[in-house]
Amino acid sequence: MDFSFTEEQEMLRKIARDFLSTECPKDLVRKIVKDEKGYTPELWGKMAELGWMGLVIPEKYGGIEGSFLDVAVLLEEMGRAALPGPFFPTLIGSLAILEVGSEEQKKGLLPKIAQGKLVLTLAVSEPDVGYELNALQCQATADGKEYSVDGTKLFVEYAHLADLVLCAARSKDNSGQQGITLFLVDAKHPNLTVIPIDAIAGDKQFQVTLNRVRIPQGSILGEVHKGGEYLQKLLQVATVAKCAEMTGGAQQVLDMTVDYVKQRVQFDHPIGSLQAIQHHCANMLIDLEGMKYVTYLAAWKVNEGLPFGKEAAVAKVWTSEAYRRISDLAHQCHGAIGFCEDHDLPLYSKRAKASEFAFGDARFQRQLVAREIGL
């Protein structure tokens, strides 16, 4: 058993932390959150130079060929910095292409992704569907060799910046998880409409409507009708990745709270010397410790190619609720100052809520856990 990160991972962590604290200070984050673009090309370009978009991409496609644990380390630091932008959906899209893409798709797309020249996003949820793939309604109709896709997708991150939308649609009727196909849809297709959702955390989410969007053969990702099974796994990987990002955010929330309660004096004592505050902080640390190790366990299993469905669900249940509890206690310890819009804390506590819903909230994930324990 070994809970430590490798030297390379520690180095990656340090580089990422230093870079993000310089290049992505909170004032910039606040500016980006309010701006409708939701990212800056300068920051995106510098991240690409560091090789981050190609972290999981094999060298032969222009990437660095890092491991999933490396990704977890990077995502933790991104969560810690509250980094805005389309890194996360692009990463998930690139994992999908890596896993089921054709050689042609890999050769054509992965080098561009690694260079930061291609933004991807994932379109699964719909107005009446969260992540229950059996219920997907978006329809793909065969039309000669092509497919025509109709439907509405919700919570598609950074769709306005994306080059390609990885869209899950039903290619066979009434067949549950069977009969789903994944399509790489040109985000600039004239029959595709992108409408922003005014989301609480300022992360850029969109409703994407597809109206007879014709998809050529070459843009089908993986096998026709067999996207469901793979999508399930992709969503589980994304869940673990999201947990890593949330863990970094929660660490930052705890760190800023500890700093604050050491300095803030009330009635002649730093409030951090009061037992009530100490117990709040201790509870935050206990929750955070839990977040870390269930997330690392799941990420390690992904890395090793071991089954990780249960671990991913466990991590998301715990992480969703623990991050929220940590944010709540941080607000209680900060008092009114943390309630101000210009304070850093709301950047995190709002994101905690948004992340809680991403890839299925605790209630959804608990059902998966219930199946795993034989209920």
Give the Cα separation of 160 and 331 in Å (integer): 33
Query: Which of 247, 255, 245, 243 is closest to 345 using CA atoms?
Result: 255
DSSP 95-127: HHHHHH--HHHHHHHHHHHHTT---EEEE--BT
CB 196 within 8 A of CB 168: no
Asked whether the beta carbons of 140 and 151 are under 8 A apart, the reply is no
- Report, in Å, the least distance between residue 261 CB and another protein: 7
CB of 168 or CB of 312, closer to another protein: 312
Q: How far apart are CA 316 and CA 124, in angstroms?
A: 18
155 vs 296 by CB, closer to another protein: 296
* Residue among 217 and 273 whose Cβ is closer to another protein: 273
Min dist. Cβ of residue 71 to another protein (A): 13
d(CA 343, CA 30): 10
Q: What residues does 265 pair with on adjacent strands? A: 270
CB of 1 to another protein, least distance (A): 5
CA separation, residue 368 to residues 206, 244, 312 (Å): 27, 20, 10
Output the smallest distance, CB 236 to another protein, in A.
Answer: 15
- CB 240 to another protein: min, Å: 13
Cα–Cα distance measured from residue 13 to residue 75, given in angstroms and rounded to the nearest whole number: 10
Q: Which is nearer to another protein, 54 or 272 (CB)?
A: 272
Nearer to another protein, 211 or 367 (CB): 367
Toward another protein, which CB reaches closer, 58 or 270? Answer: 270
Closer residue to another protein in complex, CB, 200/370: 370
Q: Report in angstroms how near the CB of residue 132 gets to another protein at its nearest.
A: 14
Binding site for another protein (CB under 8 A): 1-6, 69, 254, 258, 261-262, 269-270, 272-275, 277-279, 281-283, 285-286, 289-290, 293-294, 296-297, 299-301, 311, 314, 317-318, 363, 366-367, 369-370, 372-375
Residue 343 and residue 353: Cα distance in Å, rounded? 17
Whole-number minimum distance, CB 325 to another protein, in Å? 13
